[in-house]
Structures are given as C-alpha cells and as structure tokens.
Chains A and B, each alone.
Chain A
Amino acid sequence: MNAAYSITIIAVIAAVTALLRFLPFCIFGGKGKTPEVIIYLGRVLPFAIMGMLVVYCLKQISFVKAPFGAPEFLAGAVVVLLHNWKRNTLLSIVTGTVLYMILIQFVFV
C-alpha cells in the first residue's frame, strides 16, 4: 500500500463529496429565488435516486451464471417484507445481511 497515493485518492473523494454538498447552497443560496423546477427536483429526486442505488447494489448479479442472483433476491425480499411488516431498520438490515452471508457461504457455494 502506497500511503501518498491512498491519501491523494481519499482527499479527492472527500473534496468531490463536499463540493457536491456545498454547491447548491453556493449557487442558489444567495439572494434571488431558487428556480421552481429545481425545488421540484429536490422533492422527487430522492425517491428516484434511492431506487437507482438499490439497482446499483445489485449490478454485479449474473443471470447467465449460477446461482442467478438467488442469494441477493432472497435476502433482498426478506429485507423488504420484514421492513414492510416491522419497520425496524436495524432488524431488517441485520437479518438480511446475516441471511445473505449464510446463503453465499453455505448454501450457494
């Protein structure tokens, strides 16, 4: 591991992330009104982006190679059903993750 390289990469990621968080306040935060379409996007985008992130997490699944994403879909379904039922974030995440670990380590080896 090269420390200088690692520090550079981490600094770049931190800077870009901070930039994204500060940018809206710098552009639209001053005087003058925020355009309506931006406010609209601010309301609806979180719903769409969360859907996108779920797909992003499942992007490595292969449908042409066993087990065809079965562990991901089984564990994912358990998370959704459990969360829909109990609405307890910790319970849903821990149950789903433990189930997934069991599935990929012991069932679909």
Chain B
Amino acid sequence: MKKYMKTILVKTAPVMAGYLVLGLGFGIISEKNGYGIGWAFAMSVFIYAGSMQYVAISLLSGGASVMTAALTALMVNARHLFYGISMITPYEKAGRKKPYLIFALTDETYSLVCTGESPDGLDFQKYSFGVSLCNHIYWITGSVLGAWVGTLIPFDTKGVDFAMTALFLTVFVEQWKSTKNHIPALIGVGCSVICLLVFGSESFLIPAMITIGTLLCLGRKTIERKGNV
C-alpha cells in the first residue's frame, strides 16, 4: 500500500501541478460568471473534462441551447473515443474498478496509463485506479479553491484562461519529443489551421476532425513505414 502511494504520488506530481493550476483557473472563471463553489465542485466531479468545463462556462453564461451544449461536448471530447480504444486491452481485467477507470480517463490520466504497464512491478489495475482517483481529487481541489479564493484575489485575473493553451502546448511538446514520426502531429495542426481559415472559428472543429481522420487513414502505410507510432 505504501509502495503504491509513493509511486502514484511521484508519477502524478506533474498532473497535480497542472490540475491545481488549471482547476484554479476554472474555479476563478466559474465564480466570475456566477457559478460559485457548489457549481464548480459539481462540474469537476461529474463532467471531469478540463477543456470542456472551460467551454461549459461560456455556454452557460451565453445561454446556449441543450443541443448546442451536447454537440459542443461531442466535438470537444471526441478524442476520448480514441483514448478508450487504446485502453480496451489494458483495462480488460479491471473488474469492479473498470467503470470508474473509464469515467476518469482524462488526457492526463491517459498519458500516465496508456503504455498499459505500471512502474516498479506494481499491479497495473491498482496502479491505474490510484492514478485516476488522485488526478480526479487534484482537479476537484483546484476548482473548489479557485471558486473560493477567486473573489479574494486582489489583481485582475483576465487572461488566466491561457493556462489551457499552455497545457495543450506542453503536452504537444512532450508528444513531439517522444517520437521521431511527426506526421500525425503535423496532420493535426495542418488540417486544423486550413479548416479554421476555410470554415471560420465557430465551425471548424467538425471538418477538421473529418479531414484528420481521413488523412490518417489514407496515409496509414506511409505513417506506419516511418515507424515509432
């Protein structure tokens, strides 16, 4: 037990830092828009998807329709489908822990468990459950703190939402350094920029995802020949 806690804390330390900062940012923005501690807490417990929660605040304060909210969630979180796909085999024997493991599969948790292996010879199911739960707790703590102290912060918090951009950039850099095959990453950036220019900022996500998926499938041979994916 002690061994698990130590390894999990060490492994999740970067996520703890990131989630506390991002959660804090979310809590502050949430509170500023009239959604105080209780709301921030509920969203972090039940939605538990960082970027989507930032978007949720703008949907709520803009009075978006249920349909818009559902479609936006579908698009912003579509990538989770693919996290799930790659975790089917590793999570196969998770038993009673499985529903929670699936529910709590965020970008950052995925980045820690996606190899399907646990460090120090620990049981993978127990390790990944600990990682998932710890990350969830960091996220909830950050958001509640943000909504709580948000009112007390003496300076202007305008621009704090850049934390989300910074997070994605750091993950992007990590991924870039983890492989020599940059074709998938370049396809992602290239298609998105082109679709943004063609379709505009409000409606580029769906076309971008379609072109990304198509190009990745069409270029499969080339990409796999380059290896490292």
Residues of chain A touching chain B, judged by Cβ–Cβ distance below 8 Å, are 1, 5-6, 8-14, 16-18, 20-25, 28-29, 34, 37-60, 71-72, 75-76, 79-80, 83-84, 87-90, 92-94, 96-97, 100-101, 103-105
Q: Would you mind naming 16 contact pairs between A and B with Cβ atoms under 8 Å apart?
A: A8-B66, A9-B60, A11-B46, A14-B47, A17-B77, A21-B83, A29-B88, A41-B82, A44-B216, A45-B82, A47-B188, A49-B78, A51-B186, A52-B209, A55-B193, A93-B166
Chain B residues contacting A22 (CB-CB under 8 Å) are: 84, 102-103
Q: Report chain A residues within 8 Å CB of B48.
A: 17
Least distance between A104 CB and chain B CB atoms (Å):
5
Interface of B is mostly: helix
Task: Give the nearest-CB partner of B14 in chain A.
Answer: A89
Give every chain B residue within 8 A of A104 (Cβ-Cβ). 158-159
User: Chain B contacts of A24 at CB under 8 A?
Assistant: 81-82, 84-85, 87-88
Docked complex Cα distance between A42 and B87 (Å): 9
8 closest Cβ pairs, A-B complex: A51-B188, A48-B188, A24-B84, A90-B17, A42-B86, A55-B192, A51-B189, A42-B85
Chain A residue with Cβ nearest B98: A25
Assembly CA distance A76 to B184 (angstroms): 21
**Nearest-neighbor residue (CB-CB) of B178 within chain A:** A47
Q: When chains A and B are docked, how far (Å) is the Cα of A25 from the Cα of B35? A: 34
The answer to whether B70 touches A37 (Cβ under 8 A) is no
With contacts A72-B165, A84-B177 taken as known, whether A54 is within 8 angstroms of B172 at the C-beta atoms is yes
Chain B residues within 8 Å of A34, by CB = 85, 88-89
Known contacts A20-B74, A104-B158; A10/B56 CB under 8 A: yes
- Of residues 59 to 109 in B, which have CB atoms within 8 Å of A's CB atoms? 59-60, 63-64, 66, 69-70, 72-74, 76-89, 91-92, 98, 102-103, 105
Q: What residues on A are CB-neighbors of B192 within 8 Å?
A: 51-52, 55-56
The complex places the Cα of A89 from the Cα of B21 at a distance, in Å, of 11
Q: How far is the CA of A87 from the CA of B171 in the complex (A)?
A: 10
| CB proximity of A39 to chain B, nearest CB, Å | 7
B18 contacts A93, C-beta separation under 8 Å: yes
- Which residues in A have their C-beta under 8 angstroms from that of B175? 46-47, 50
Choice from B21, B34, B160 contacting A101 with Cβ under 8 Å = B160
Chain B min CB distance to A26 (Å): 9
Q: In the complex, A39→B80 CA distance in Å? A: 14
User: A53 → chain B, closest Cβ, in Å?
Assistant: 5
The reply to whether B79 and A49 form a contact with Cβ atoms under 8 Å apart is yes
Residues on A with C-beta less than 8 A from B216 are 41, 44-45, 48
> Are B189 and A9 closer than 8 Å at their CB atoms?
no
Contacts of A103 in B (CB 8 A): 159
In the complex, whether B112 has a CB less than 8 A from a CB of chain A is no
Q: Nearest chain-B residue to A100 (Cβ)? A: B162
Contacts of B172 in A (CB 8 A): 50-51, 54
In the bound assembly, the distance between CA atoms of A101 and B105 in angstroms comes to 31
Residues of B within 8 A of A14 (CB): 43, 46-47
Q: What's the nearest-Cβ distance from chain A to residue B229, in Å?
A: 5
Which residues 94-141 of B have a CB within 8 angstroms of A? 98, 102-103, 105, 110, 114
